C-alpha cells in the first residue's frame, strides 16, 4: 500500500470503530500525546486519555451499533515522509430523525508514522457559526 | 533557520499582515489551491482567490491598522520533510470593547514547501459550540 492508501485505510477503520461504538478501537488510532479540537467545548483536549472520556460520554447518545454510517465529501489526503494530513466534510447517516444525523461537520486530521505505524496526533472538528445570531451552522446550504 | 523557525516566522508574518490589514501580504502566504475551513460559513472555501474575498469583506470590521495585536497560546509546530503543521489558540487584543477582541479561536494550519518556499495549503479556524443552546462558545472558560 502507498502511504495515501494507508491513510485511507485508517480513516475507514476510524469510521468502522465509531459505527461499532467501540472506544478501544477508536482510541487505538490515536497517539497518546494527541491534541484535539473537538466540535463541542472545551476549546482543546490534550492527550488521548482525556479524549477517550469524551468518546465515552458521547457514544451513548449515538444510535445502536452499526445502525448508522457516514457520508463523506471532498476528502483530500496529502503525505510527506512520516507526516500526513487529510480534511473532509461528513455527516452521520441512518435514522434521519436522530439528532446526530442532522448535521454536517468539517474535520482536519494529522497523523505521524512512528515505528511503521500511523497514529493521529491532531484532529480538528468543527462547524462554522453565524456571527449575527451566534448560532452554529449545521447544514451545508449556508 | 530550521524548518520550525521558518514556520514560526510565517506565523509572525501572517499576524503582522493581518495587523496591517494588508490583503496582498496575507494572501502571499497561501498556496493558490489552499482549502480553508473558516470560522464563519460556508463550511469550505476552495482556493486562495475565494479566500481573498473573505478577507476583503471582513477586514473593514477590524480596528484601525496596527491598533490591535494577537494573544497566542499553546502553539505546537511539527515538521516532516516538506510538510509542516501547527495548531494554537488565539484572540485579538487591543480595544477590549471591540467585538473582534472578545473571542478566542482555535487554528490548525498546514503548509507545504515547494521550490524552497512554504505556503499554507490548509487552514481550519473554529470555535466549539454548545449542543444544548446551539450557540458558539467564544471564551476559554467553558
Q: Closest approach of chain B CAs to the CA of A43, in angstroms?
A: 6
Query: In chain A, positions 13-42, which contact chain B (CB-CB < 8 Å)?
Result: 35, 37-42
Overall average pLDDT of the B72-87 stretch: 97
Residue where the block lists cell 465529501: A73
* Short-list B17, B53, B51, B9, CA closest to B34: B51
* Mean pLDDT for all residues in chain B: 94
For A12-70, the pLDDT digits (tens) are 999 999 999 999 999 999 999 999 999 999 999 999 999 999 999 999 989 999 999 99
Q: Distance (Å, rounded) from C-alpha B126 to C-alpha B105?
A: 6
Strand pairing of A83-93 and A104-114? antiparallel
Q: Is the pLDDT of residue A142 over 50?
A: no
Q: Closest approach of chain B CAs to the CA of A80, in angstroms?
A: 6
Torsion of CA B64, B70, B71, B75, to 10 degrees: 170
Residue of chain B nearest A78, judged by CA positions: B83
Q: Distance (Å, rounded) from C-alpha A3 to C-alpha A79?
A: 7
Taking an 8 Å cut-off on Cβ atoms, the answer to whether B136 and A140 are in contact is: no
Torsion of CA B20, A125, A76, B2, to 10 degrees: 50
For A85-133, the pLDDT digits (tens) are 999 999 999 988 887 787 999 999 999 999 999 999 999 999 999 989 9
- The CA-atom distances, in angstroms, between A59 and each of A24, A44, A50, A134 are 12, 19, 15, 27
Give the predicted TM-score (pTM) of the model.
0.95
Categorize the per-residue pLDDT at B139 as very low, low, confident or very high, splitting at 50, 70 and 90: confident
Overall average pLDDT of the B114-137 stretch: 95
Q: Does A60 touch chain B (CB under 8 A)?
A: no
Q: Distance (Å, rounded) from C-alpha A127 to C-alpha A43?
A: 13
Amino acid at each position: 500500500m502507498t502511504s495515501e492508501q494507508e491513510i485511507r485505510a485508517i480513516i475507514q477503520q476510524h469510521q468502522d470503530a465509531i459505527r461499532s461504538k467501540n472506544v478501544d478501537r477508536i482510541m487505538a488510532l490515536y497517539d497518546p500525546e494527541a491534541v484535539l479540537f473537538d466540535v463541542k467545548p472545551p476549546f482543546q483536549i490534550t492527550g488521548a486519555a482525556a479524549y477517550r472520556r469524551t468518546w465515552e460520554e458521547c457514544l451513548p447518545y449515538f444510535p445502536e451499533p452499526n445502525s448508522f454510517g457516514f457520508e463523506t465529501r471532498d476528502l483530500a489526503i496529502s503525505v510527506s515522509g512520516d507526516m500526513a494530513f487529510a480534511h473532509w466534510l461528513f455527516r452521520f447517516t441512518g435514522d434521519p430523525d436522530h439528532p446526530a444525523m442532522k448535521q454536517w461537520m468539517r474535520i482536519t486530521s494529522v497523523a505521524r508514522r512512528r515505528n511503521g505505524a500511523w497514529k493521529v496526533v491532531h484532529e480538528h472538528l468543527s462547524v462554522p457559526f453565524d456571527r449575527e445570531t451566534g448560532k452554529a451552522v449545521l447544514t451545508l446550504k449556508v
